[in-house]
Amino acid sequence: MRYEKIKLVDENGLRIDGRKPDQLRPVKMEVSVLKNADGSAYVEQGNTRVLAAVYGPREVHPKHLTLPDRAILRTRYHMVPYSTDERKSPAPTRREIELSKVIREALESVIFVELYPRTTIDVFIEVIQADAGTRTAGLMAASLALADAGIPMKDLIAAVAIGKVDGTLVLDINQVEDEYGEADMPIAMMPSLGEIVLLQLNGVLSEEEFYEALKLAQKGIAQLYEFEKQALMKKYVEVKVEEV
Amino acid sequence: MPILVQHRQIVLPGQLLAEGKDVEVKAQHTIYRIGDKYYSSVIGLTDVQNGKRLSVIALEGFYFPKVDDIVIGMIIDTGLTSWTVDIRSPYLAILHASDVLSKPFNPLKDNLRKHLDIGDLVLAKIIQFDRTRSPVLTVKGKGLGKITKGVIVEIIPSRVPRVIGRKGSMINMVKEETKCQITIGLNGRIWIIGPTLTHEEVAILAIKKIERETHISGLTDRVKAFIREELKKRGLAK
Amino acid sequence: MSMTPSNQRIVSKLKRSSIVSLIKKGLRVDGRKLDEYREITVIPNYISKAEGSAYAKIGGTLVIAGLKVGVGTPYPDMPNSGVITVNAEFVPFASPTFEPGPPDENAIELARVIDRSIRELHVIDLEKLAVVPGEKVYILWLDIYVFDHDGNLLDTSMLAAITTLLSARIPKAVVKENGRIVELDKEVREPLPIMNKVVTVSVGKVNDKFIVDPNIDEEQVLDCRLAVSLSEDGKIAGMQKMGSGTFTTEEVIEAVKLAKKASKTLFSKINEALKKIEEQ
């Protein structure tokens, strides 16, 4: 199918960016990065950069969109035009519509929506630089932003994409691995509870490979969860006591 | 040990707080339970009493209305017979015209905006709220009504309890030290009237400091020293 | 923007609890076993105007897919490959909750899940669909229409889609004037270059139980579901968790095993239907 075949895993078992198969890209996370939003976060994984903002719970107009027994969730996953190699039209693509849906469903399983009937919780994710793993980075940013907004939730969401490249399962794929690899499996979990909130597979895996991929994902998710917790704690640890 | 966290520890959503049957957990939205495991649902500060009573106070978040709460609201819209009031909560509140006007009220002749206009602030009490309908306010009662002087400072609503302190200890100290009248809206709006603008300024700084350092212990003494120092800087104390 | 749906049909609490308690006991409201499909009907070549088509019915869910074929220029990054486009439409009369308008997030998700499974498993050898490599290639439009919604739209849609591809007879491309003009000769038909077969099995989770092929009432009580696309030799060719509940890793593994088992039913229905038309 693909004409310029790139070697994605070298003879030493290292990946195109020098990582080991089970190694994450460098991670940066920060919360409360925006002034206006009720909660916000920034997540960077390798060259992927994502901003997320949360508003609410707040009243919805028109009112008939609300539900009498719970808050509704409105979610937009969006890539800005300059985030990709070729300019992406700002209008929502079919891909963005689908991802907004699976991200919304993932968030719905985490938030205690029943506490706030007749309201909406709005979650916005803007991918400002795309280098694979944008939905998983976006979900992490969204979960940090929700926590930052003080919205009661079961757990944070940690998420990562597993890939199969040159027959090897690898953790946290980058863009080249995504484009030329054989499979891409994004997965998101509530790590404390061991519950999967998002799972997709784009590509072909044998049953055994799938079980291996699940294990590899859990390893990455455990590490990402620690980064998330550190990012949240940092906000409080960095408040210096002003001694007089 | 059934309780797995320390007193006054910062906890995060999904964090396991306690396990077992003999844990007393204050029922609220900041803690949830699966089987006999208790988890935090927010970024919060723990409160552990006698090694078995556990609660979590949220460090972030919005105000959730409760009947009898005193709040400071801002008029954002007027209808024919009521005002819509922003109380910094997920729900907009309603103030009925009949609550404000003493004489019989004719919606055809009377214009509500003459009484309370958009942008006006009111100190009000929540008299009705059950989640199925908007909270209803009253301004009838001692001290309640339109706010016409002083300054308002806004803080994160979940940090109001810290500003009040145990049995009002914190806020009483701030009032005494700054010589300001301070009225706390539980929705995180605080109304300050001082002898001078400078006194008010110091009170604002003190409240902001409490908000910022909510989770760091020894706060009362630190704030007291802070106020004295700030007043001294401004020549208001020796 | 994706929004929590507020126009869902309401199933009475009584019905919900009877569905749930039956499933708990390993039973279903319509008498099926937990891993059993409803009645399946597959009719290939249902629409004679289309180059390929299929009528697929699972229980009361009715989907008709059709393939139209043209010639066009390839994508610049795949100059030697034919092009396939999958689109799904939920027509308004198929359910009281469907609205007229462009495909919503559910229709888009369904089409994309099907598209990915077909593409990733190389169901069609797209390189064989290059007529003049780099210049002219076959363009395939696979349109999936849902006409009646009685639950499990995805499995039914995939069934219609794959049967359409397997039974299609596309017109032969005739190259004229040194490759500058390509015409389709409708009199000469040939099958698509098929390399693999794929089906999708949706496994629903109800508390700690799993069911295949949820009907429309059962869909209302599911915690969530996992759609698993499978090749005939049991490879996983795509997955999508749908709905807002959660799975543990053990549950996901169980769901995949169940899907693999149930996929055999779908493959045998497809093979049966194809055999029937070959005999004609």
Report the distance separating Cα A156 and Cα A149, nearest Å: 13
Report the distance separating Cα C55 and Cα C145, nearest Å: 10
3-state DSSP assignment of residue A232: helix
| B64-104: pLDDT as tens digits | 999 999 999 999 999 888 999 999 999 999 999 989 887 77
Nearest residue of C to residue A190, measured between CA atoms: C246
| C103-121: pLDDT as tens digits | 999 999 999 999 999 999 9
**How high is the pLDDT of residue A240?**
64
**How high is the pLDDT of residue B105?**
74
pLDDT band, residue A60 (cuts 50/70/90): confident
Taking CB atoms and an 8 Å limit, are A59 and B30 in contact across chains?
no
Across the range B122-150, mean pLDDT stands at 93
Whether the pLDDT of residue B34 is over 60: the answer is yes
From the CB of residue C108, how many other CB atoms can be counted at a distance below 10 Å?
A: 22
Which domain range does residue A57 map to?
A: 27-237
Compare CB distances from B90 to A56, A229, A232 and report the shortest one's residue: A56
Please provide the average confidence, as pLDDT, over all residues in chain B. 92
Taking CB atoms and an 8 Å limit, are A236 and B10 in contact across chains?
yes
Q: What are phi and psi of C274, to 5 degrees?
A: -70, -35
Spacing of C-alpha B226 from chain mean position: 22
Report the distance separating Cα B23 and Cα B42, nearest Å: 19
Q: Per residue in B77-94, is it b (16+ CB within 10 Å) or e — as a string?
A: ebeeebbbbebbbbbbbb
Nearest residue of A to residue C88, measured between CA atoms: A94
Whether the pLDDT of residue A244 is over 60: the answer is no
Please provide the average confidence, as pLDDT, over all residues in chain A. 94
Contact residues, chain B, for A192 at CB < 8 Å: 14-16, 39
From the CB of residue C165, how many other CB atoms can be counted at a distance below 10 Å?
A: 22
pLDDT band, residue A4 (cuts 50/70/90): low
**How high is the pLDDT of residue A241?**
65
Across the range A144-149, mean pLDDT stands at 98
Domain assignment of residue A174, yes or no: yes
Taking CB atoms and an 8 Å limit, are A244 and B59 in contact across chains?
no
pLDDT band, residue A219 (cuts 50/70/90): very high
How does DSSP assign B2-25, residue by residue? -B-S-TT-EE-TT-EEEESSS-EE
Chains contacting chain A through 3 or more C-beta pairs under 8 A: B, C
**How high is the pLDDT of residue C153?**
98
Domain assignment of residue A140, yes or no: yes
Name the nearest CA neighbour of B59 among A123, C1, A235, C210: A235
Taking CB atoms and an 8 Å limit, are C81 and A106 in contact across chains?
no
| Number of domains into which chain C is organized | 1
Across the range B145-157, mean pLDDT stands at 94
Rounded to 5°, angle at Cα B216 from B214 and B221: 90
Helices assigned H by DSSP within chain B: 97-100, 160-164, 169-178, 197-212, 219-233
What percent of chain B clears pLDDT 90, i.e. is strictly above it? 76
Across the range B2-17, mean pLDDT stands at 94
Which domain range does residue C203 map to?
A: 2-279
Report the distance separating Cα C34 and Cα C5, nearest Å: 27
Across the range B170-188, mean pLDDT stands at 97
| Number of domains into which chain A is organized | 1
Whether the pLDDT of residue B138 is over 70: the answer is yes
**How high is the pLDDT of residue A1?**
44
**Touch between B and A (at least 3 CB pairs under 8 Å):** yes
**How high is the pLDDT of residue A213?**
98
Contact residues, chain A, for B8 at CB < 8 Å: none
Taking CB atoms and an 8 Å limit, are A193 and B14 in contact across chains?
yes
Higher per-residue confidence, B177 vs A241: B177
Whether the pLDDT of residue B27 is over 80: the answer is no
Name the nearest CA neighbour of A116 among A178, A30, A55: A55
| A188-206: pLDDT as tens digits | 999 999 999 999 999 999 9
Across the range A90-119, mean pLDDT stands at 96
Domain assignment of residue A57, yes or no: yes
Compare CB distances from C4 to A72, A109, A185 and report the shortest one's residue: A72
C19 CB burial (10 A radius; 0-12, 13-18, 19+): buried
Predicted TM-score (pTM) of the model is 0.90
Contact status of A118 with chain B (Cβ, < 8 Å): yes
- Token pair, residue A139, equals 């979900």
Half-sphere exposure of B175 (CA within 13 A, CB side): 16
Report the distance separating Cα A57 and Cα A73, nearest Å: 9
Taking CB atoms and an 8 Å limit, are B132 and A117 in contact across chains?
yes
- Token pair, residue A144, equals 């940090």
- Token pair, residue B80, equals 């024919």
* CA distance to A6, A10, A47, A49, A167, per residue, from A17 (Å): 13, 11, 11, 17, 17
Taking CB atoms and an 8 Å limit, are A199 and C241 in contact across chains?
yes
Residue bearing tokens 């289309």: C50
Rounded to 5°, angle at Cα C117 from C115 and C121: 125
- Altogether, the residues listed in chain C come to a count of 280
The ipTM of this complex is: 0.92
A233 min Cα distance to partner chain C (Å): 27
A32 min Cα distance to partner chain C (Å): 23
Half-sphere exposure of B211 (CA within 13 A, CB side): 18
**How high is the pLDDT of residue B1?**
57
Q: Are strands C136-148 and C83-90 parallel, antiparallel or unpaired?
A: parallel
Compare CB distances from C2 to A100, A203, A206 and report the shortest one's residue: A100
**How high is the pLDDT of residue A2?**
46
Alpha-carbon torsion, ordered A115, A117, A119, A124, to 10 deg: 50
Across the range B156-185, mean pLDDT stands at 95
C279 min Cα distance to partner chain A (Å): 33
Helix (H) or strand (E) holding C72: strand C61-72
Compare CB distances from B41 to A68, A153, A233 and report the shortest one's residue: A153
Across the range B205-227, mean pLDDT stands at 94
Report the distance separating Cα C12 and Cα A219, nearest Å: 43
CATH number at residue C46: 3.30.230.70
B233 min Cα distance to partner chain A (Å): 12
CB C131 within 8 A of CB C175: yes
How does DSSP assign A132-175, residue by residue? S-HHHHHHHHHHHHHHHTT--BS---EEEEEEEETTEEEES--H
Q: Please give the sequence-ordered ranges of beta strands (E in DSSP) within B42-116, or none if there are none.
A: 44-49, 53-58, 70-78, 82-86, 93-96
Contact status of A138 with chain B (Cβ, < 8 Å): no
Peptide bond before residue A62 is cis, with ω within 30 degrees of 0:
yes
Contact residues, chain A, for C112 at CB < 8 Å: 94-95, 98
Nearest residue of B to residue A113, measured between CA atoms: B29
CATH number at residue A86: 3.30.230.70
Q: What are phi and psi of B9, to 5 degrees?
A: -105, 145
Per-residue pLDDT of chain C in tens (280 residues, 90 and over written 9):
999 998 777 888 888 999 999 999 999 999 999 999 999 999 999 999 999 999 999 999 999 999 999 999 999 999 999 999 999 999 989 998 898 899 999 999 999 999 999 999 999 999 999 999 999 999 999 999 999 999 999 999 999 999 999 999 999 999 987 777 888 999 999 999 999 999 999 999 999 999 999 999 999 999 999 999 999 999 999 999 999 999 999 999 999 999 999 999 999 999 999 999 888 7
3-state DSSP assignment of residue C200: strand
Taking CB atoms and an 8 Å limit, are B12 and A147 in contact across chains?
yes
Report the distance separating Cα A225 and Cα B15, nearest Å: 11
- Token pair, residue A238, equals 């960095």
Where does residue A13 fall: left (phi above 0), alpha (psi -120 to 50 degrees), or beta otherwise? left
Contact residues, chain B, for A140 at CB < 8 Å: none
Taking CB atoms and an 8 Å limit, are B61 and A236 in contact across chains?
no
Give the contacts of B238 (CB within 8 A, at least 6 positions apart).
B232
3-state DSSP assignment of residue A50: strand
Whether the pLDDT of residue B147 is over 90: the answer is yes
